[in-house]
Amino acid sequence: MKILVPVKQIASLDDQFEMRDDGRDVDEDYLEKDLNEFDHFSVEEALLIKEAAGDGVEVVVAIIGDDDSDDALRTALAKGADRGIRVWDDSLAEADGTSVARILAKVVEREKPDMVFTGAQSSDFGSATTGMALAGLLGWPHAAVVSNLEYKPGASSAKLRRELEGGLEEIMTIRCPAVLSIQLGINQPRYASLRGIKQAKQKPVDELSLDDLGLGASDVEPAFHVRKMYAPERGKAELITGSAAEQAARLAQIIKEIRGM
């Protein structure tokens, strides 16, 4: 019995930053790298299933990223995942959700997990495509934004709850194996102490290249290309105080200013 949890190392932004010279991304210096917020929950969900079952469940975390992303992988391992897989090739620098899904599909072929849990989305780009694309490539059922899960290892189906728009929730049964995209708040993720993260260095991590997975650079071509990234100009807000007449006068003044009158 095996659960595969693909995770991502995301970049978070300071409120003051500069753009890269080519204007297509933020200058690396202003980014702080971390394990994707959503993935804390997908890893936790897998660990809870493993712990409830006692023995016999293996949790494998997979990441597509360079040496740098080892930190994120080790955080997941420190929480209690059994081993890791890291896939990297320099051609993946601009990989999008679909390219990542293609790689993950090969990882699934290799690992033959019984379930795949992804985060509902990444907290930097937020495309929410990886899980969906992976399910499509595998021909497995997929459920997005899963907020509650009842699953016994090895069962042929799982019961889950998903959040819909407008405060609605949907309860569904899904055939397994399946790909589930896990929503924030499904559980209370545990803390990985720094000591645990350091000790997780001793856990096995398979480092794979595209070759190892039988893929070539052309298989992982991104479907889109970022042309420009920029910070839109900020709107202004002003709290207008005073009597009704004063407020009206100020309002009129602002309207005139905007209209250039």
Partner 1 sequence: MIPDHNPQDITRVLFDNFPLWMLVTFYLVAFGAIGVFLYGVWAQIRKYRRGTRSGAWSPFFPRFGTMFARVLDHKTIKRRARAAGAAHQFIFYGFTVLFIGTSIITLDHDITGPITGLHFWHGAFYLFFSLAMDLAGLSLIGGLIYMMYRRGWMKLPRLDYTRPDRSPDEPDYDRSGYRREDWAFLWALILIGVTGYLLEAVRLVWLQNDPAVWDYRWWSPVGALLAHLMKGIGIVPEGAADIRMVLWWTHGILALTFIALVPFTKVKHIFTAMGSLMARDPEAKRRMPTADVEAEKIGFSLLTDFSDKFLVNVDACTKCGRCHEACPANASGYPLSPRDLVLSLRELANDKLSHASMPEGPIEVIGTEVNMIRPETLWSCRTCAACVEICPVGIEHLPMIVQMRRALIEDGNFDTMLQPTLKSLQKSGNSLGENKRKRPRWTQKLDFEIKDARTEPVDVLWYVGDYASFDPRSQKVTITFARILKAAGINFGILYEDEQTAGNDVRRIGEEGLFQALAEANIELLNSCQFKTIVTTDPHTFNTIRNEYPEFGGNYAIEHASSMLERLIREGSIPQPANLDYRVTFHDPCHLGRINGCTEAPRQVLQSMGVDLVELGRTRDNSFCCGAGGGRIWLPDPPELKKPAELRAAEAAEIPGLDVLVVNCPKCLNMLEDGVKGTGNEGNFRVLELTELLAEAMGLDGAQQKGLDEAPETAAVSA
Given the rule CB under 8 A, which residues bind partner 1? 14-16, 30, 32, 34, 188-191, 193-199, 234, 236-239
CB of 60 to partner 1, least distance (A): 21
Shortest CB 34 distance to partner 1, Å = 6
In angstroms, the CA 76 to CA 192 distance is: 8
Query: What three-state secondary structure class fits 60?
Result: strand
Closest to partner 1 by CB, 193 vs 247, is: 193
Shortest distance (Å) from residue 211 CB to partner 1: 34
**Cβ atoms within 10 Å of 247's Cβ, excluding its own:** 12
User: Do 121 and 142 meet the contact criterion of CB atoms below 8 Å apart?
Assistant: no
For the CB of residue 54, give the shortest distance to partner 1 in the complex, in Å.
Answer: 18
- Compare residues 112 and 236 and give the one whose CB is closer to partner 1: 236
Q: Which spans in the chain are helix H?
A: 37-53, 70-79, 97-111, 130-138, 194-199, 244-259
Shortest approach of partner 1 to residue 32 CB, angstroms? Answer: 6
Q: How far is the CB of 33 from partner 1 (least distance, A)?
A: 8
Nearer to partner 1, 38 or 140 (CB): 38
Strand, helix or coil for residue 71 = helix
Rounded distance between C-alpha atoms, residue 171 and residue 84, angstroms: 32
- Please, which residues have CB within 8 angstroms of residue 239's CB and are 6 or more apart in sequence? none
Residue closer to partner 1 (CB basis): 193 or 209 = 193
- When the beta carbons of 122 and 129 are compared against partner 1, the nearer one is 122
Cβ(207)–Cβ(86) under 8 Å?
yes
SS3 state at 24: coil
**Residue among 128 and 197 whose Cβ is closer to partner 1:** 197
Instruction: Give the CA count within 13 Å in the CB-facing half-sphere of 69.
Output: 22
139 dihedral zone (left: phi>0; alpha: psi -120 to 50; beta): left
